[in-house]
Amino acid sequence: MSKGLPTGVAAPDFTLQDTEGKPFTLSKRIGENNIILLFFPLAFSGVCTNEMCYVRDTMSTFDKLDAEVIGVSVDSFFALREFKKANNLNFKLVSDFNKETTSKYNVLDTNFFGMNGVAKRSVFIIGRNGLISYSEVLDNADNLPDFDSIQTLLKNLD
């Protein structure tokens, strides 16, 4: 597994456009709930669609665990809007089109099927204290995050 940001460090702040083109700022959400940042390579690709639909279908579990899910990709917010609509996703998606946040979290993939600059499939859980409590970066984009471990960790967070 490649390295993203380690646990125990402050989550880098960012402001990205959501699917409506409105700014979403991480620091404005810290403290309310635990936050799950799901970086994914590309909207409408097979594994990414499966991952986001899995999250959609298990959202009640994340809600019970006081976790806010934010999907992050380098797709434009226009593409993410259509992806969200097509898959009836019930959580926020934000566009890191300029790749600044993906770089801050150290999950920029330099060779995704010959494409330079998409997000590696990865997960960061940010506790109410603003620190990263969980970090998982997958080198193989065909794999999904360890959602069982994610849910177990969330059960034990304040």
Structural domains of the chain, with CATH: 33-156 (3.40.30.10)
Active-site residue (options: 36, 48, 107, 123): 48
Query: Minimal CA–CA distance to 78: which of 19, 24, 38?
Result: 19
In contact, 13 and 133? CB cutoff 8 Å: no
Measured between its terminal Cα atoms, the distance across the chain in Å is 28
For residue 21 the two structure tokens come to 């083109």
Is 53 annotated in the active site? no
Q: What are the pLDDT digits (tens) for 100-151?
A: 999 999 999 988 888 889 999 999 999 999 999 999 999 888 999 999 999 9
What is each CA distance from 136 to 20, 21, 32, 39, in whole angstroms?
28, 28, 23, 10
The SS3 call for residue 36 is strand
CB 133 within 8 A of CB 126: yes
Placement of tokens 């917010």 in the chain: 77
- Total-model pTM: 0.94
Predicted local confidence at residue 2, as pLDDT: 53
